[in-house]
Amino acid sequence: MNVAGDGFHRLVVIGHGPTGHRLVEALRERDTGRRWQVTVIGEETRSAYDRVALTSHLTEGADLAYPAHDPEVTLLTGDPVTGIDRAERVVTTGSGRRVGYDALVLATGSSPFVPPVPGRDLPGVFVYRTIDDLEALRAYSAALAEPVSGTVVGGGLLGLEAARALQGLGLDTHVVEVAPWLMPRQLDEGGGAMLRRHIEALDMQVHAGTPMAGLAAGDDGRVARVEFGDGSAIDSRVVVFSAGIRPRDELARGCGLPVGERGGIVVDEGCRTADPAIYAVGECALVGGQVYGLVGPCFSMAEVVADRLLDGGATFAGADTSTKLKLMGVDVASFGDPFAAALDVTYTDPVAGVYKRLVVSDDARTLLGGVLVGDADSYPTLRAYIGGQLPGTPEQALFGGTEAAGGDLPGSTVICSCNNVSADTIRCAIRDDSLTELAEVKGCTRAGTTCGSCVPLVKKILDAELTAAGIEVSKALCEHFPHSRSELFDIVRVRGITTFTQLITEHGQGRGCDICKPAVASILASLGNGHILDGEQAALQDTNDHFLANMQKNGTYSVVPRIPGGEITPDRLIVIGEVARDFGLYTKITGGQRIDLFGARVDQLPAIWKRLVDAGFESGHAYGKALRTVKSCVGSTWCRYGVQDSVAMAIRLELRYRGLRAPHKLKSAVSGCARECAEAQSKDFGIIATERGWNLYLSGNGGMRPRHADLFATDLDDQTLIRYIDRFLMFYIRTADRLQRTASWLESLDGGIDYLREVIVDDRLGLCAELDAAMDRHVAAYSDEWRDTLEDPDKLRRFVSFVNAPDTPDPSIRFEPERDQIKPVLLAGPELEVVTR
């Protein structure tokens, strides 16, 4: 549209949701001559707010309002447009107001789709779209007698957010999804199945592949039951429909503009309708035959129209529909085309609750798409490589092997798909405007300001640019804390801080995120801040710590009692066998000389642990970032080659460091001679016997990328050995980054093993007395987490399959026999497989 000349032109935007707000902001930034007079007409009484974060408003009272427009923008709220006169170029509102325009933008968004099932109009049935919807849901739920059940119809992104909201209101929550698995548009079957296990572990029930027949009313005329096509039903006093959206195109239809067969206002690549004076953007627009329901593509349309209004030639040529979010504490990501018919590489880890799948070209070089559930740390980098050549193998990509430094990505790579910001745009902004802080980069480029999933990659680009310019790089943990993890550790230690709320109030900003919350939880636990399920700490824990057990692939849990040094009496072996037999559990000897019991339902965990604790067992901390095991050979007691009692030392070390919370899991081993049967040199701290004492090896690492431990000291007596290990562990806990193993921590230390030796042996930093005292406090304060839980009725209340039926086992958990034991009837794993489709 030509706006040349000195005259003013009238722009009317119908709709003040996120897309309408973005359009106005983008135009005001570009229109420095103020050639457009802007009027925005909104249907809601509120100005624009962040619909993506609706649940946080309900559960946390978050303020979702976007920044107000400048005073020159006229904003009319609570007065919906009822008609458009294209000949006169005038819109009419419900109050009778008539507003003329030279250009009109339809940003009317969408409405929730409610399937035409019987009972959908009953009292107690809601949709999940606006703040008003949420307030009505809250008021209705609060008036019901407790306890009650609520059901969300729809297992997509918004449906699961709605389920979290219902649970936050205290309702026993069900999720109904007609597709065979959750989030069917973003996840494949494996990813959907893993997500389901995570969600069911949070006391929600999922009914997937279940067509709904209708809703039935109770005696009071309100909704009381959800009925299915197979004749089954669930009691439900609240029902929320979140089963998709429909474009709000009624205004376009009313004035004769073309719309799609299934809805949506038809627009060209410039987002212009058949009328040259009218544009459509966001969820109401049908561009290239597609309606986009994600914020990224909608914002891109807004940018296109802002450019076109000022005589630009921007086009909308499709959009990246990749998405990453945290659903009820579970990382979920989908990028590219995860359903492409090509080669795929899949990894499943049922113990950690992780599912990863990459789809690559037939030569395994070009990344086409992927799915991540349970661990999405690599999402920003993987998404950046979509359509491009991976710098490593697909297997390396799954485990972070292609994690590029910010400077390695091609300049055209789209880093922020929500705002269509490329790597070069970020780099140029950093260089041209001398930006040094992440917040500055976000404010200048908009990268990372919407969903936030690209923030880690934006930070990498910033760090790479600053490093190249010789500027010191910030080590802030995340945008909520300007401090590194080690600095936060010292702040908590010195100031005696005991809660996350106190820490972020006094030394951070905002509400925190999935980076800083678990990191602070680990710090608090490392400093002996009481039981991890006490008070606010319980809300910071992940699924495994939440139930003091590792969740498995079918929603059950594993039970791993501690067996120090691998030594166990026949009586205790019998107890484990009896527990496994009586509860029908699968038993497995682990590589760390323990016995795992698999297949326990969440409601069985207290009863199982009661018998184990009564027999003298305690938690093996298989679920926590803590000491796992101290493995041993039989040593000098039995072996003809042994020169020291490795079993006694292993037991002594395991009992000393049990329950010690750290940035990552810790493993150790003690070998009784140089033959190294306990494999000590692959452990975080390993000990090998000599004729004169013990050799100490530090920072080894097994797993996907093994690292041989470094020899730290030789021929140590018992007391010196333990003193050095004490200091090593406490120095690591104090200074390591979040989720950093001792191997990568040592590699990051300037000076490496020699510097570490100066700190621990020579006391170069003057810290040894503090480190010794910290370990002494840990040893003195240790208390078994499961014993404490069994003695606390409040903690025990969380161990139920269903809140409203605590004695009812989960019917979705199924097993089949294999080799005289049980096997879950679901995905196989853990596994890494390559499949050609």
Q: Which residues are annotated as a binding site for [4Fe-4S] cluster?
A: 633, 639, 673, 677
* Residues whose CB is less than 8 angstroms from the CB of residue 342 and which lie 6 or more positions away in sequence, other chains included: 359, 360, 361, 362, 368, 837
Using a 10 angstrom Cβ sphere, with 0-12 exposed, 13-18 middle and 19 or more buried, the burial of residue 569 is exposed
DSSP strand pairing (557-559 vs 81-85):
unpaired
3-class state of residue 81 by DSSP: strand
Q: What is the rounded CA–CA span in Å between residue 471 and residue 226? A: 61
Q: Where are the beta strands (DSSP E) in 189-342?
A: 205-208, 212-217, 223-228, 233-235, 238-241, 245-247, 265-267, 278-280, 285-287, 323-327, 330-336
Q: Which two tokens stand for residue 440?
A: 């500055």
* Residues whose CB is less than 8 angstroms from the CB of residue 298 and which lie 6 or more positions away in sequence, other chains included: 18, 19, 22, 281, 282, 283, 292
Q: What is the rounded CA–CA span in Å between residue 767 and residue 733? A: 13
Q: What is the rounded CA–CA span in Å between residue 149 and residue 592? A: 43
Q: Which two tokens stand for residue 613?
A: 């604790």
CB atoms < 10 A from the CB of 260, how many? Answer: 15
Using a 10 angstrom Cβ sphere, with 0-12 exposed, 13-18 middle and 19 or more buried, the burial of residue 817 is exposed
Task: Annotate 471-507 with DSSP letters as a single string.
Answer: PPPP--SBTTBSS-HHHHHHHHHHHT---HHHHHHHH
Helix (H) or strand (E) holding 152: strand 149-153
Any alpha helices (H) in 74-208, and if so which ranges?
A: 131-142, 157-168, 189-200
Please tell me the chain's helix, strand, coil percentages from 3-state DSSP, rounded to the nearest 5: 35, 25, 45
Q: Which residues pair with residue 221 across a beta bridge?
A: none
Q: State the binding site.
A: 633, 639, 673, 677
Contact 159, 126 (CB under 8 A): no
Q: What is the rounded CA–CA span in Å between residue 664 and residue 501? A: 23
Q: Which residues pair with residue 114 across a beta bridge?
A: none
Q: What is the rounded CA–CA span in Å between residue 705 and residue 725? A: 24
Q: Which residues pair with residue 105 across a beta bridge?
A: 13, 279
Q: What is the rounded CA–CA span in Å between residue 206 and residue 272? A: 42
Ramachandran area for residue 78 (φ above 0: left; ψ -120 to 50: alpha; else beta): left
Cis omega before residue 394 (within 30°)? Answer: no
Query: For the chain, how far is it from start to end, CA to CA, in angstroms?
Result: 48
**Inter-residue long-range contacts of 49-54, CB under 8 Å, 24+ positions, other chains counted:** 49/18, 49/131, 50/18, 51/17, 51/18, 51/129, 51/130, 52/18, 52/295, 52/450, 52/451, 54/128, 54/131, 54/134, 54/161, 54/165
Enter the DSSP assignment of 682: G
Q: State the binding site for siroheme.
A: 677
* Residues whose CB is less than 8 angstroms from the CB of residue 91 and which lie 6 or more positions away in sequence, other chains included: 12, 14, 41, 81, 83, 84, 85, 98, 99, 101, 104
Q: Which residues pair with residue 246 across a beta bridge?
A: 111
Contact 525, 532 (CB under 8 A): yes
Measure Cα distances from 792 to 228, 609, 621, 780, 820 in Å.
40, 14, 19, 21, 37
CB atoms < 10 A from the CB of 541, how many? Answer: 21
Q: Which two tokens stand for residue 609?
A: 């642990």
Contact 27, 35 (CB under 8 A): no
Enter the DSSP assignment of 179: S
